[in-house]
A and B are shown apart, each in its own frame.
Chain A
Amino acid sequence: MGKIAKVIFVPILCCLIAGCTDMRILEDQGMIQAISYDMATKDKGSDIALIKVTAAIPLIQKDNLQKIIESTATSSKDARIEFSSQTDLELVNGQLRTVLFGKNIAKQGVINHFDTILRDPTIGLRSNIIIVNGNAAKMLAENYQEQEPTYEFLDRLIEKQVDENIIPDIDIFQFMRDVKDDGIDPVAPQFIQRKNHIDTDGVALFRGERYVTKIDASKGTLFSILNKKMINNGQLNFDWPASQQGDAEFAALDINNSRRHINVYSSPGSNQFTVDISIKVKGSITEYIGTKNLDNKKYRDGLGEKMAESLEKQTQELVIFTQKHSVDSIGIGKYVRNSISYNEWKNLDWRKVYPAIQVHCSAEVEIRDYGLIH
């Protein structure tokens, strides 16, 4: 055999031989795209809480684009065993894109259900996690778009909402990292099933691994500004009702970029912390409804200041909301931890201290342009 023939022949042979074992025939694979977890109704007289697990796999049929298999069991592992008896396909997890948790089950804690997901090397850590306000299985089973299965629609919806910073970009990896980090509490996007569509419900806030409450979708971008060091997209709406100072006004700001800084001041030896969160937002005005003429520099400057003032108030409210529920979803704990010694941090019960700390939000708004009209 010539040298060139060897060079070509051997690699081709290697590639082909690799397919002779551990064969996976595409037509025989049931590629789970989304999986959901809900609390199931208890059997009468039984104390064991059951969970309902459903999985969506693609189907190529005219009237149905996805096949839903469901199972009720005591654990997610049991449920998976039952799955395989319901289909002639070999169920594989490599294509899993979204993991849905019903709100009820999320309240009990989600880590146990992650065990299978984290252990399975075929599942990518980039799979999205979402919380469903209601029944996750029901939401997944319904069809909303004619030519698109729900799991795919959901995947695209999440991607778009994340791009616009309405919901946080949370995958298994980020969620687990925040669960393990003692300076932050995890968050997840929350969705709700409406009559004919799926709607963004807001941002689910967790205390450790347990769901506690949510921030409304209208405040999603505001949360992103506080939660992330920097964002480059999103929209903020400002609404000023009519008052003695002036008429009602409305302005929409398209964010070009927003930066957040957190500074911690502490008095040594005490659990008294003062946290300054400063936010700098730069954006373009995309809508203004009001009586002021933006031709006038004085009014233009005034609008920026009013926006900053309103932003300060809204972010302050959001922080107070998290303090009230004792969830450090913004990750202030990480900054406090880094401002004190290791022993001080370990002796500090951050969960108890967080609601009582002083947080002060300050904001600056820079308006890059006002669009094409005054």
Chain B
Amino acid sequence: MNEKLHSFHLAILIYLIQTGVTLFVLPAELAQNFGTNGWVAVIIGAALVYINIFLIGAVYRLGRGKSFFAIIEDGMPPMLSYTLYLLLTVLWSLIGCITAKQYIMVYQIITFQHTPGSLLKLGYDVLIYTLVIKGIYNIAKASTFIFSITVFLALLFFYFITDIELARYTPFLFKDGDGLLIGIFKTYIAFLGFELSILFFPYINKESKFFTSLIIGNLITTVVYVYTCLIIFGVFGYEYLKELIFPLLDFLSIIRLPIIERLENLLYALFALKVLITSVMFYWAATESAKRIFRNKSDKTLSFILIAFSYFISLIPDSLEQVRNWLDFLTRWEIGVTLFLPVICIILILLRSKGRKHADGKNC
């Protein structure tokens, strides 16, 4: 427990939890929901996320670094807190699982079309398990390594600089879109993952610069999203984007380098690592939560049970659309959790300090 998360690791970890398969669909969703210059909406989404990050930062400051579970257990009756933990365990392990499933299913569109998805998912889950049991510090270190090998992707996009035509952006903002509200909702979903940072309190100290790291982590995600969507809008044009499901896949497929082309096959495989961190962190969070209910069980056993349990559940949705519907449903709940957890924590802390003051006043 001596080791604490470094601020650099923390920022990278936040970025990697947030990004994943979403980046492949985000430009198309922006074009469908916002229409012209939909990429600007990423900034709106990021701004909303910052409000949420402020709430988490407030919990950390008000609670003076007290762990999330301690805050809940101090202020809530045990039955209520156990119910909340159960809900969080199920939700987080399912999000970790279905995110991985979505990745595998998209992967099957380009390669291994005829291999059973369940087999691929099983292999992926083994990978998830081996990383989850290593604990948060090692996950953070692995994510720094993964970041260093995936970040060069952004440089590849310079290939398109000559393909971008300013006239294609149009001077109109958010015209010809299907719905701003649903669009903002979906853009917000693209940033999900940062909320797990509420569980990091016991693993950080002052040098971790928790709040700054969160802001930087989310900033990296915002920059990567804006940069990618900006280029994709300039190359494809919003009208064509509306027709595509995975524009980033198409985008990568049109890169033609002197010695290699059809890079999407290679690069999508690299995204396995990004999605791995997302899944691993959700499982880690689920394990942390489950640990509070089953205190006598080891981390390894709990992670194993959760991964195995959710693996069988992941066999139920068997088309990409079903997986998407499941994810839609789960992320709706997750948005609720993202808002609810910091708010309830702040209320509990305030109530408790008020109660203490009251008690102190009485004692005087």
Please report A residues at the B interface, Cβ cutoff 8 Å: 21-22, 94, 121-122, 124-126, 171, 173, 176-177, 180-183, 229, 331, 334-335, 337-338, 342
B253 touches A22 (CB 8 A): no
Check B167 against A22 for contact (C-beta < 8 Å).
Answer: no
Partner of B250, one of A125, A331, A335, A338: A125
Tell me which residues across on chain B come within 8 A of A331, comparing CB atoms.
167
Additional pairs, 14, CB under 8 Å, beyond known A125-B254, A181-B168, A183-B167: A21-B119, A22-B111, A121-B110, A121-B249, A125-B250, A126-B254, A126-B261, A173-B250, A173-B254, A177-B236, A181-B237, A181-B239, A338-B167, A342-B172
- Evaluate contact between B239 and A180: CB separation under 8 angstroms: yes
Contact B254 A124 (CB under 8 A): yes
**Contact flags (1/0) for B10-50 with A, using CB distance below 8 Å?**
00000000000000000000000000100000000000000
A177 CB contacts on chain B under 8 angstroms: 236-237, 240
Q: Do B253 and A126 have beta carbons less than 8 Å apart?
A: yes
B170 surroundings in chain A (CB, below 8 A): 337-338
| Identity of the chain A residue whose Cβ is nearest the Cβ of B236 in the assembled complex | A177
Question: Is B113 among interface residues, defined by CB-CB distance under 8 A?
Answer: yes
**Is the beta-carbon distance between A334 and B168 smaller than 8 angstroms?**
yes
Q: Secondary structure at chain B's binding surface: helix, strand, loop or mixed?
A: loop
B237 and A180 contact, CB distance less than 8 A: yes
> 23 A-B pairs, CB-CB below 8 angstroms?
A21-B119, A22-B114, A121-B109, A121-B110, A121-B249, A122-B110, A124-B253, A124-B261, A126-B256, A173-B250, A173-B254, A177-B240, A180-B239, A180-B242, A181-B239, A229-B165, A331-B167, A334-B167, A338-B167, A338-B170, A342-B172, A342-B175, A342-B176
Q: Is the CB of B165 within 8 A of A180?
A: no
Q: Point out the residues of chain B lying under 8 angstroms from A21, CB to CB.
A: 112, 114-115, 119
B residues in contact with A171, CB < 8 Å:
254
Closest CB pairs A-B (n = 3) = A180-B240, A180-B239, A334-B167
Which residues from 101 to 146 on chain B have a C-beta closer than 8 Å to any C-beta of chain A? 109-115, 119
Interface size class of B (residues with CB under 8 A): 20 to 34
**Bound state CA distance, A292 and B111, in angstroms?**
66
CA distance A21 to B119 in the complex (A): 11
Decide if the interface of chain A is mainly helix, strand, loop or mixed: loop
* Cα of A334 to Cα of B172 in the assembled complex, Å: 12
In the bound complex, residues from chain A placing their C-beta under 8 Å from that of B167 are: 183, 331, 334-335, 338
Residue B258 at the A interface, CB < 8 A?
A: no
Given contacts A181-B239, A338-B170, contact A22 B115 (CB under 8 A): yes
- Give A336 Cβ to nearest chain B Cβ, in Å: 10
Q: A180 and B113: CB pair below 8 A?
A: no
Complex: how many Å from CA A122 to CA B109?
9
Chain A residues with CB below 8 A from B111, complex form: 22
Which of B112, B175, B239, B249 contacts A22 (CB under 8 A)?
Answer: B112
A180 contact set on B, CB distance < 8 A: 237, 239-240, 242-243
B67, chain A: closest CB distance, angstroms = 35
Q: List the B side residues contacting A338 at CB < 8 Å.
A: 167, 170-171
CB B254 to nearest CB in A, in angstroms, measures 5
Q: Name the contact of A182 in the complex, choosing from B109, B113, B239, B242 (C-beta under 8 A).
A: B239
The distance from the CB of A338 to the nearest CB of chain B, in whole angstroms, is 5
Complex Cα spacing A337 to B237, Å? 14
Within 8 A of A (CB), among B145-185: 165, 167-168, 170-172, 175-176
Kindly state whether residue B356 has any CB partner on chain A within 8 Å. no
**B253 cross-chain contacts in A, Cβ below 8 A:** 124-126
Minimum distance in angstroms from A93 CB to a CB of chain B? 12
Which A residues are CB-close (under 8 A) to B168?
Answer: 181, 334
Indicate if the CB atoms of A124 and B262 lie closer than 8 Å: yes
Q: Give chain A nearest CB distance to B245 CB in angstroms.
A: 10
- In whole angstroms, how far apart are the Cα atoms of A22 and B110 in the complex? 12
Which of chain A's residues have a CB closer than 8 A to the CB of B250? 125, 173
Give Cα A125–Cα B251 distance, bound, in whole angstroms. 9
Residues from chain A with a CB closer than 8 A to the CB of B36 are 342
Residues in chain A near residue B237, CB distance under 8 A? 177, 180-181
**Which residue, of A121, A331, A334, has the highest number of chain B Cβ atoms within 10 A?**
A121
B residues less than 8 Å from A126 (CB atoms): 253-254, 256, 261
Which chain B residues lie closer than 8 Å to A229 at the CB level?
165
Q: How far is the CA of A124 from the CA of B114 in the complex (A)?
A: 20
| Chain B residues with CB under 8 A of A121 | 109-110, 249
Residues of B within 8 A of A124 (CB): 253-254, 261-262
- Least CB distance from A59 to B in Å reads 23
Whole-angstrom CA separation of A334 from B165 in the bound complex: 10
Which residues of A sit under 8 angstroms from B165, Cβ to Cβ? 229, 334
